[in-house]
Every structure is written in C-alpha cells, then in structure tokens.
Structure 1
C-alpha cells in the first residue's frame, strides 16, 4: 500500500496573516509550489493556493497588492495523516473540492500533498 508519506512534499512553507496575495504568489514561485499555509500567532489557520489567487483575486479584478491572504485562504485546513493510503487522500480531495491537503504526523503539519503528487505513483507504475 502506498501511503501519503511516500509521495507528499515534506516542506511546510507558510506566511503570516496580513501578507498580500502578491507576496504569497511570489513565495510559491520561489519555492516552486502551488500552495502556502497561513499562520496567525504561530498557529496554522488556512491555506492559500494558486487557484485561490487566480479566482479570488485576478479573476475578480482585485489588486493583489492590497488583498491580505486571510481574505482568500481556505479555512479550516483539510488534512490527512501521513500513514493513510493515497486512495483515501484522493477521496478526501474530491469530497472537499480541493487540490491540496495538509499532511499530519502526531497532530502536527509535516508536509503537503497535492493532486500532482498523486500522479507520481502512476508515472513510475507503482500501483
């Protein structure tokens, strides 16, 4: 069984509330990722993804320099334990209409799982 821990991205990139959507996009570009977690007082409170920026900022003709990430983030954070099977992760993404999940280990976020990550086992024929 392939678990979430096998294919997740083991980095947790985050930004503080009050950060602009443009800075979130720049951070994603710098790290070559499609989402960043949002924190407030060192607590995870949401996640901002590329589609959030495209749909809620650019697509709505809003100026990304003036939109704080907490206005466009998804909250609460949807996540999955690192030892769960990837099929369960795919089901959870579909259920919540999301492309990114937080990955938890003992209650702490230890990484991110994206819909792109789910393609990796298929590309190397691990099923």
Structure 2
C-alpha cells in the first residue's frame, strides 16, 4: 500500500493573508507549483490555488494586484495524516471537492499532497 508520505511534497510554500494575488501567482509560476498555504501571522488559515485565482479573479477581469490572497483563499484547510493510504487521500479529495490536501495534524504540517502528486507514479510508469 502506497502511503501519503511517499508521494507528498515536503517543501512548503506560504504566502501571507494580506499579500496581493499577483504576488501569489508569481510565486507559483516561479516555483512551478499549483498552490500556496496561506498564513495570517504564525497561523495557517487557508490555501490558495491556481484554480482559485482563475475562477475568482481572472474570470471577472479583476486587477490581481489589488485583491488580497485572503479574499480568494479556500478555508478551512482539508488535511490528511501522512500514514494514510493514497486511496484514502483520493477519497477525501473527491468528497471535499479539492485537489490539494495538507499533510499533518493540528500541531504540525509535514507537507502537501496534490492530485498531481497522486498521478506522478502513473505518468512515470507510462514513460
């Protein structure tokens, strides 16, 4: 059984709640990632994804430099334990209508798991 910890991304990328959406989008572009954890001070309060930016900002032609990440982020965060199976992760994603899970618990975040992470072994096998 493949566990979440085997596929999760351990490098966490965060953005501040009050940061402009344009800054968050640029961070994602530079790091080649699809989501950022959102912090308000030391507290993790949400997640912002490429999809959030497209559906809530770009689609309405809003100027992304004037909209804060906190205005478009998804919250509360959906999480999973690192020892859970990837099948459990897929089920949680489907039930919560999300493509990103925070891996950890109330006291510590170990990483992120995305649909892209779940598909990476399949893509490698196809090559």
Give the TM-score normalised by the residue count of structure 1: 0.93
Cα deviation for residue 17 of structure 1 reads 1.2
Distance 1:43 1:14 in 2: 11
Q: What's 2:18 paired with? A: 18
Distance 2:107 2:78 in 1: 13
Higher helix share: 2
Aligned residues: 125
Q: What's 2:32 paired with? A: 32
Gaps of 5+ in 1: none
Instruction: Please say if residues 77 and 102 of structure 1, whose CA atoms lie closer than 8 Å, have aligned partners that are also in contact.
Output: yes
Q: What's 1:74 paired with? A: 74
Q: Could you say what secondary structure the match of 2:54 adopts? A: helix
Report the more deviating stretch, 35-44 or 101-110.
Answer: 101-110
Report the more deviating stretch, 57-66 or 106-115.
Answer: 106-115
Cα deviation for residue 123 of structure 1 reads 3.2
Distance 1:105 1:117 in 2: 20
Q: What's 2:121 paired with? A: 121
Gaps of 5+ in 2: none
1:58 aligned onto 2:58: yes
Cα deviation for residue 107 of structure 1 reads 3.5
Q: Could you say what secondary structure the match of 2:12 adopts? A: coil
CA RMSD of the aligned region, Å? 1.3
Measured against aligned partners, the alpha-carbon deviations of 1:7-38 in whole angstroms (never above 9, x if no partner) come to: 01111110111101110001111111100000
Measured against aligned partners, the alpha-carbon deviations of 1:70-109 in whole angstroms (never above 9, x if no partner) come to: 0100001001011100000000011011111111167411
Instruction: Please say if residues 38 and 45 of structure 1, whose CA atoms lie closer than 8 Å, have aligned partners that are also in contact.
Output: yes
